[in-house]
């Protein structure tokens, strides 16, 4: 059996200048694959003629403790390792591969679950209660789920920096690729050329070839500084390396008392009991006649929905949304709420709030709903819902 302690997740950006990394503080990872097969029948005949095999649909959901790092945001958005800001628009064409490396209770490595070319369909940041841990949630979609085992049990991605020229050779070893069982004489799943971080998938036989006798990948045309990224499987991992490195530097998790929530004019919001930020992308991933793969990727629309739950004592949120905070105004009419608000979440390393780690800002948000609950023998609660489509994450407090 495989315990979660020995299921080691890793993320591989498709484009950009960032490198792969383990996925830290992950609490749950669930993959749901729908094979999308339809039975074909005909009038005058009993039974199924055949099954039509459409592209599978793979949905991957992930739940992660907030630990104040930009790392995973950068991977999903295909940004560089040192990048400090990710906009919601950065997810339009970005892709990642996610691999789970599996070891059983006896210490035997069994194989890798590989989810290629995943795109982000949404994510959330949740502060469930005043004493709870802050959590992130991610939703990704793709078309493939591949189990690698036996002589192909390790998923490997290696980068090479080109010198530039025609028919440039790159030696792929440590480890050497194992032949693809589904494609005789093919050893590489994918080869990508990155020019200034922009990825182009190369075509076998036209843009590159591979010689299993010499372990040489030959790329037809390169320019000095190009990164050639090779994806393959092998019977061993890279020498002296591990798919998962324990992160003992960042905090284990961040609690609700270590964050600050501010509305439009920098007004601190008191008595909050919960905060939910849910971002969904209406993806437009295009296929074409004559090709079973997705050929273009985009996002038609973005929705950022914010829910603020609080105990009712003062009308601070309503005063801010009405634009009369701090002026001792005597009437709050929901018809006159403003539509150009913003929400800022600042996350610190602890509740002293002296060491800023990460922040999120959602801009141009409008209130869409207000509800109040008055339960028997309890305190009155009041929730406000807002909605927008622009925002960003940052590790620089000044950006907020």
Q: pLDDT exceeding 70 applies to what percent of the chain? A: 95
Listed residue (393, 382, 398, 400) closest to 69, CA to CA:
393
Over residues 334-358, mean pLDDT: 92
pLDDT of residue 378 exceeding 60:
no
Domain boundaries, the chain: 154-234, 256-399
Within 72-162, strands assigned E span: 85-87, 96-103, 109-127, 134-142, 146-149, 154-161
Band (314; pLDDT cuts 50, 70, 90) = low
Average pLDDT over the chain, rounded to an integer: 90
Give residue 311's pLDDT: 61
Between 39 and 251, the more confident residue is: 251
Local structure of 342: helix, strand or coil: strand
Rounded to whole angstroms, the Cα distance separating 367 from 385 reads 6
CATH code assigned to 256-399: 2.30.110
Over residues 45-70, mean pLDDT: 91
Among 112-126, 219-233, 367-381, the least confident range: 367-381
Give residue 376's pLDDT: 57
Rounded to whole angstroms, the Cα distance separating 360 from 232 reads 37
Q: pLDDT exceeding 90 applies to what percent of the chain? A: 69
Give residue 235's pLDDT: 97
Give residue 54's pLDDT: 80
For 84-142, how does the pLDDT look when each residue is reduced to its tens digit (9 = 90+)?
999 999 999 999 999 999 999 888 999 999 999 999 999 999 999 999 999 999 999 99
Listed residue (101, 96, 99, 91) closest to 75, CA to CA:
96
Among 90-104, 143-157, 293-307, the least confident range: 293-307
Q: Are 114 and 11 in contact (CB under 8 A)?
A: no
Give residue 57's pLDDT: 87
CB atoms within 10 A of CB 314: 11
pLDDT of residue 162 exceeding 90:
yes
**Distances 343 to 280, 305, 308 between C-alpha atoms, Å:** 17, 11, 10
Give residue 332's pLDDT: 73
Over residues 157-164, mean pLDDT: 97
Over residues 40-64, mean pLDDT: 89
pLDDT of residue 284 exceeding 60:
yes
Listed residue (305, 304, 310, 329) closest to 261, CA to CA:
310
Rounded to whole angstroms, the Cα distance separating 81 from 335 reads 45
Between 263 and 395, the more confident residue is: 395
Rounded to whole angstroms, the Cα distance separating 83 from 395 reads 9
Percent helix / strand / coil, the chain, rounded to 5: 10, 50, 40
Rounded to whole angstroms, the Cα distance separating 149 from 379 reads 57
End-to-end distance of the chain based on CA atoms, in angstroms? 47
The long-range contacts involving 3-8, CB below 8 angstroms and separated by at least 24 positions, are 3/105, 6/102, 6/103, 6/104, 6/105, 7/100, 7/101, 7/102, 7/103, 8/100, 8/101, 8/102, 8/103, 8/242, 8/243, 8/244
Cα 332 to its chain centre, rounded Å, is 40
**Distances 316 to 1, 53, 322, 327, 365 between C-alpha atoms, Å:** 53, 56, 10, 11, 17
Q: Are 58 and 142 in contact (CB under 8 A)?
A: yes
Those residues whose C-beta lies under 8 Å from the C-beta of residue 205, and which sit 6 or more positions away, are none
Between 98 and 285, the more confident residue is: 98
Give residue 244's pLDDT: 93
pLDDT of residue 323 exceeding 90:
no
Q: Are 274 and 292 in contact (CB under 8 A)?
A: no
Give residue 215's pLDDT: 96
pLDDT of residue 377 exceeding 60:
no
Give residue 343's pLDDT: 93
Those residues whose C-beta lies under 8 Å from the C-beta of residue 106, and which sit 6 or more positions away, are none
For 170-218, how does the pLDDT look when each residue is reduced to its tens digit (9 = 90+)?
999 999 999 999 998 899 999 999 999 999 999 999 999 999 999 999 9
CB atoms within 10 A of CB 225: 12
pLDDT of residue 304 exceeding 90:
yes
Backbone angles phi, psi at 379, to 5 degrees: -90, 150
For 2-48, how does the pLDDT look when each residue is reduced to its tens digit (9 = 90+)?
787 889 999 999 999 999 999 999 999 999 988 888 888 888 888 89
């Amino acid at each position: 059996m495989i315990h979660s302690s020995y299921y080691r997740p890793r993320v591989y950006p498709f484009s950009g200048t960032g490198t792969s990394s383990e996925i830290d503080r992950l609490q749950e990872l669930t993959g749901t694959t729908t094979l999308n097969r339809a039975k074909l029948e005909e009038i005058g005949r009993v039974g199924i003629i055949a099954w039509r095999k459409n592209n599978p649909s793979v949905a991957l959901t992930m739940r992660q403790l907030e630990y104040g790092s930009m790392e995973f945001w950068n991977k999903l958005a295909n940004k560089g390792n040192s990048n400090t800001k990710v906009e919601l628009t950065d997810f339009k064409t970005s892709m990642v591969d996610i691999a789970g490396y599996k070891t059983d209770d006896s210490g035997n490595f069994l194989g890798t679950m590989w989810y290629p070319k995943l795109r982000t369909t949404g994510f959330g940041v949740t502060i469930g209660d005043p004493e709870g841990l802050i959590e992130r949630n991610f939703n990704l979609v793709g078309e493939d789920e591949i189990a690698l085992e036996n002589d192909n049990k390790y998923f490997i991605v290696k980068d090479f920096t080109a010198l530039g020229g025609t028919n440039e050779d790159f030696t792929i070893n440590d480890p050497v690729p194992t032949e693809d069982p589904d494609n005789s004489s093919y050893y590489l799943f994918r080869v990508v050329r990155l020019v200034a971080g922009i990825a182009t998938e190369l075509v076998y036989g036209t843009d590159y070839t591979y010689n299993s006798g010499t372990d040489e990948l030959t790329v037809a045309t390169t320019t000095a500084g190009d990164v050639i990224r090779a994806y393959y499987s092998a019977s061993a991992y890279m020498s002296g390396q591990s798919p998962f490195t324990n992160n003992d530097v960042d905090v284990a998790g961040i609690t609700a008392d270590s964050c600050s929530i501010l509305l439009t004019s920098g007004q601190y919001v008191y008595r909050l009991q919960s905060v939910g930020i849910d971002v969904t992308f209406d993806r437009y991933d295009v296929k074409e006649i004559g090709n079973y793969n997705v050929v273009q990727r985009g996002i038609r629309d973005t929705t950022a929905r914010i829910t603020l739950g609080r105990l009712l004592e003062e009308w601070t949120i309503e005063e801010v949304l009405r634009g009369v905070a701090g002026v001792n105004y005597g009437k709050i009419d929901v018809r006159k709420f403003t539509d150009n608000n913003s929400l800022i979440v600042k996350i610190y390393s602890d509740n002293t709030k002296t060491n800023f780690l990460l922040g999120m800002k959602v801009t141009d948000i409008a209130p869409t709903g207000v509800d109040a609950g008055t339960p028997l023998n309890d305190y009155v609660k009041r929730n406000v819902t807002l909605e927008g489509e622009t925002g960003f994450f940052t590790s620089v407090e000044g950006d907020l």
